[in-house]
Amino acid sequence: TYLLILKQSIRFLYFLYRKLLRPRKDLLNRYGKDTWALVTAGSDGIGKGISEELASTGFNIIIAARTESKMVDLCNELKSKYNVKTEYIVVD
């Protein structure tokens, strides 16, 4: 039983390390400067958060969503805040 508890404890600690402590991968270095990322449903919610996160790391952003006005506002915000290129595609 002690070995089982030890094994489960090690697995749990490794899980915590992977999710909380391990440094992030440098995606911009991996894919190169001036790389574009396409974010679907990027005008609100999780898609908007992903757009902001990718822009903060230096990716240029293409947003595909239904509401053009929200995408225009987000594109302008990302351009001014993170100095990246942005485009949008209206998709219904």
H runs (alpha helix) in the chain: 2-16, 27-31, 45-56, 68-82
**pLDDT for 41-63, tens place per residue?**
988 999 999 999 999 999 999 99
Write down the pLDDT at residue 1: 82
The secondary structure element, H or E, covering residue 38 is strand 36-40
> Residue 37 in contact with residue 63, Cβ under 8 Å?
no
**pLDDT for 11-41, tens place per residue?**
999 999 998 998 888 888 889 889 999 999 9
* pTM as predicted: 0.75
